[in-house]
Amino acid sequence: MRQVIVGIVLGLGLVLAAVIGVVWSGRLNVSADEPHPYPVLRFITWARERSIAKHAADIVLPEDLSDHERIRRGAGNYDAMCVECHLRPGMASSEIRRGLSPQPPELGSLAQVATGDSGVQRQFWIIKHGIVGSAMPAWSKGGIGDESIWDLVAFLNALPTLSPFQYRQLVSASDGHTHSGADAHQHAPLAPEDHGRHDPPHPNAHHAH
């Protein structure tokens, strides 16, 4: 029995030494334009999901997540805060999204609809706390409160059912970018015909590529 334990300890020690050696050598590429090796990605994904499940387990869900008012309010904040990474109906990609690794989920996909209470808890926790080492921010640090986060969760679970036209209508009917942290950069929602337009560039701006 003692030999088995010694063997296990030695084996784990060798694995740890190998991992440290790879990291120390700098061979683990951390650039965003090259994905992690599959085993590394699987380990990070596993660790992330275990952590989220543990920390989100006690979140109490509101009873009105299917309420149209919640969905309407969430639409404006989603359009202002989330579209560049997670897209909207009819949007193929964006400059920011193409450069992110891992690539953010396309939240208009049916595969992203939360299943069960744990799926909804997961959405709330991620929006509120973000994901370290990724492009997902902790929106609570930007001033968005729990009620506005629940509005976003409600909208996310309606998003896969929306056509591009329905999406534009819902955003136009919303209150725009409205939460306590948005006061400094408040703006009205875009009218349907304005989606895809941008303000003229500042004379000193240099966005040439």
- B/e letters for 78-89, b = 16+ CB within 10 Å, e = fewer, are bbbbbbbbbbbe
| Cβ contact 151:74 at 8 Å | yes
Q: Is residue 48 part of a domain?
A: no
Distance, CA of 133 to chain centre: 12
Q: In the predicted model, what is the mean pLDDT of residues 184-188? A: 46
Tell me how far apart the alpha carbons of residues 126 and 87 are, in angstroms, rounded to a whole number.
17
pLDDT digits (tens, 9 = 90+) for 73-116: 999 999 999 999 999 999 999 999 999 988 899 999 887 788 88
Portion of the chain with pLDDT greater than 90, in percent: 55
Q: Is residue 17 part of a domain?
A: no
56: pLDDT strictly greater than 70: yes
Q: Is residue 13 part of a domain?
A: no
Q: Is residue 70 part of a domain?
A: yes
Give the up-direction half-sphere exposure of residue 6: CA atoms within 13 A in the CB hemisphere. 3
pTM, to two decimals = 0.77
Q: Is residue 100 part of a domain?
A: yes
State residue 21's pLDDT score. 84
Residue span of the structural domain in which 77 resides: 60-189
Tell me how far apart the alpha carbons of residues 207 and 209 are, in angstroms, rounded to a whole number.
7
Domain count, the chain: 1
208: pLDDT strictly greater than 60: no
Q: Is residue 95 part of a domain?
A: yes
Q: Is residue 114 part of a domain?
A: yes
| Cβ contact 107:159 at 8 Å | yes
pLDDT digits (tens, 9 = 90+) for 127-180: 999 999 888 999 999 889 999 999 999 999 999 999 999 999 999 999 888 776
Tell me how far apart the alpha carbons of residues 49 and 72 are, in angstroms, rounded to a whole number.
29
Q: Is residue 26 part of a domain?
A: no
116 Rama class: left (phi>0) / alpha (psi -120 to 50) / beta: left
Write the CB contacts of 84 (distance below 8 Å, at least 6 apart in sequence).
94, 95, 96, 97
Tell me how far apart the alpha carbons of residues 115 and 40 are, in angstroms, rounded to a whole number.
27
Between the alpha carbon of residue 193 and those of residues 32, 72, 159, 164, the distances in Å are 34, 19, 20, 12
- Look up the CATH number of the domain holding residue 161: 1.10.760.10
